[in-house]
Amino acid sequence: MSASVLPLGRSRQPLAWRLPTWPSALVVPLAGLLLWVIAARAGWLTPAILPAPAEVWATLGELWKSGDLQSHALWSMGRVAQGFAIGALAGLALGAAMALSPRVDDYLRPSFLAIAQVPVIGWVPLLMLPLGIGEALKIVIIAKAALVPIAINTHAGIRAVPRGFVEVGTAFRYSRLQLLRHVVLPAAIPPVFTGVRYGLTSCWKALVAVELLASAEGLGFLLVWGRQMFQMDLVVAGILVIATIGLLFDGTLALLERRLQRWRPA
């Protein structure tokens, strides 16, 4: 969107850049915690369905002291790191290739969009045959979860670069590589980073899902183990840890995005 069509008095800074202030960000979690405490004390739900916050906190403390929480979290984050790195590189390369080459776009984009419609869990039964249920399956599923949103947003971001930017670069006699490095990629950073953040979120969700299906370690396995043992405090504790780590991942990428876009007007 050009500056001429922005409403007067509005900030040009995209909404994705804004970090919530702590007081407003804590309102909903604190309200939910208060409701949880009231529900536990009033007996609205039995502990077999939703244990009290104090019980969940005690379980988290026990998991931390025993080292089980750190061990399972490290397993999960290691898988996400590997799968996300593979999927992000492939998604960036594929999205850029489709955006920069009409021929590549004609050949690949229809098939890619068809494959993207299948949820990542839908590939598990097929991939189990050649890959088994080991680490390779988990890494491939996580990589696919990252590849789709990153490739789509990279394609859209490069295609949306204003033609005037390219014309200015051409006037300065930039080569194609210089145009790509100094004009196209910087202008495409906002949608690309949106894809990267969605990709990491998709990776984290896919990881938990695949660990629920086939794993002997990781936070997803912790949820399965708690359900099998009818320890709902363990299940809720695992959910809280998964949510916290996912939020930290997204916040880290948000800070990195702001740093890379310091050149944009406030």
Tens of pLDDT, residue by residue over 46-91, are 777 788 888 889 988 998 998 888 898 999 899 999 999 999 999 9
**238 against 47, higher pLDDT:** 238
The yes-or-no verdict on residue 18 having pLDDT over 70 is no
| Residue-range domain boundaries for the chain | 52-260
Read off the pLDDT band of 164 (50, 70, 90): confident
Q: 194-214 pLDDT, tens per residue?
A: 888 889 888 888 888 888 776
Percent of the chain with pLDDT over 90: 13
CATH class of 52-260: mainly alpha
Q: Which two tokens mark 245?
A: 């780590």
Mean pLDDT of the chain: 80
pLDDT at res. 85: 93
Tell me what percent of the residues of the chain surpass a pLDDT of 70: 88
Direct distance between the N- and C-terminal alpha carbons of the chain, in angstroms, rounded to an integer: 15
User: pTM for the complete prediction?
Assistant: 0.77
Would you say 83 and 139 are in contact if contact means Cβ atoms under 8 Å apart? yes
Looking at residue 22, its pLDDT comes to: 63
Q: What is the pLDDT of residue 263?
A: 53
Residue 131 has pLDDT above 50, yes or no: yes
CB atoms within 10 A of CB 228: 8
- Render pLDDT for 141-157 as a digit per residue (tens, 0 to 9): 999 999 999 999 988 88
Residue 17 pLDDT = 44
Q: Is the pLDDT of residue 247 over 50?
A: yes
What are the start-end ranges of the H helices in the chain?
Answer: 22-25, 27-42, 53-66, 68-100, 102-116, 124-131, 135-159, 163-171, 176-179, 185-213, 219-228, 232-260
